[in-house]
Amino acid sequence: MATELIVAVDVPNLEQASRVLDQLADSVRWFKVGLQLFTASGPGVVREIRARGGKVFLDLKFYDIPNTVAGAAQSAAALGVEMFNVHVSGGEAMMRAAMEGGAQTTGARPLVIGVTILTSQPATEADVLKLARSAKTSGLDGVVCSAREAVTLKRELGADFKLVCPGIRPAWSEKGDQNRIVTPRDAVKAGADYIVVGRPILAAANPAEAAKRVMEEMHGAY
Ligand code: C5P
């Protein structure tokens, strides 16, 4: 599968999200809805993205007792999101509950992705690998990771285990607060299945043009 671009719609409300979609829905297939936007707009933003033909990565990082996470997963699947995530540190029973809840849908089952260790916390590659293994053993479809870890994770966990990589910066964009950045081209070469890009596209003078440049750079990596 060719690497997919996911644009992080990190804006505070539905009005601003609609503006982003006006600019990008024709060219970008995947959008990430995170805590800020979902808390402000609720499921309406997911419906709007889907109505415009987009796919949704619901980035709410579920972490609770298995029964509660199963319910949240079922709600996410009912909304029609194509991907959502849970904290691997919630444990194997919680991850299995997320898989089972997500499968309770008449439509396609969403991909369930594990969050290993937040980049704001200290961690070694061995720590990340251990948690990623636990995600795989528990039946998850993949993990969020830095593209710098992608080669090792693909080698250890197999080609089918999906890697979703944020911390991406094209050479022409501002670094912002991301430290261990990787270019779209290098992320594709490292084996990322999805790259998540926010500010380099959203804050560009012309977001559609910026998205196009990122996608061209991705295609140039093959
Ligand atoms: O604007 P930027 O491209 O840095 O956005 C990256 C997105 O990926 C943000 O929504 C951020 O929350 C998310 N993310 C991240 N680093 C992680 C996990 C998620 O930047 N380790």
Query: Is the C-beta atom of 33 inside 6 A of ligand 1?
Result: no
Work out the angle between the directed axes of helices 125-137 and 150-157 (0-180°, nearest 10). Answer: 40
Residues in a beta bridge with 7: 31, 197
Q: Look at residue 222 in the predicted model and tell me its pLDDT.
A: 77
pLDDT in tens, 33-63: 999 999 999 999 999 999 999 999 999 999 9
Nearest to 128 by CA among 141, 100, 147, 102: 147
Q: Look at residue 221 in the predicted model and tell me its pLDDT.
A: 87
CATH number of the domain enclosing 64: 3.20.20.70
Number of domains in the chain: 1
Which residues are the active-site residues? 61
pLDDT exceeds cutoff 90 at 82: yes
Q: Torsion angle of alpha carbons 43, 49, 52, 54, nearest 10°? A: -130
Substitution site in 11, 88, 196, 202 for ligand 1 pocket (most atoms within 8 Å of beta carbon): 196
First to last CA, the chain: 12
Q: What stretch of H or E contains 143?
A: strand 142-144
Query: Is the C-beta atom of 61 inside 6 A of ligand 1?
Result: no
Q: Over range 125-133, report the average pLDDT.
A: 96
- DSSP characters over 48-98: HHHHTT-EEEEEEEE-S-HHHHHHHHHHHHHHT-SEEEEEGGG-HHHHHHH
Q: Over range 90-96, report the average pLDDT.
A: 98
Query: Is the C-beta atom of 178 inside 6 A of ligand 1?
Result: yes
Q: Over range 106-133, report the average pLDDT.
A: 94
pLDDT exceeds cutoff 80 at 160: yes
Nearest to 167 by CA among 191, 186, 146, 142: 146
Q: Look at residue 180 in the predicted model and tell me its pLDDT.
A: 79
pTM of the complete model: 0.97
Domain that residue 115 falls in: 4-219
Substitution site in 5, 7, 10 for ligand 1 pocket (most atoms within 8 Å of beta carbon): 10
pLDDT in tens, 17-27: 999 999 999 99
pLDDT exceeds cutoff 80 at 179: no
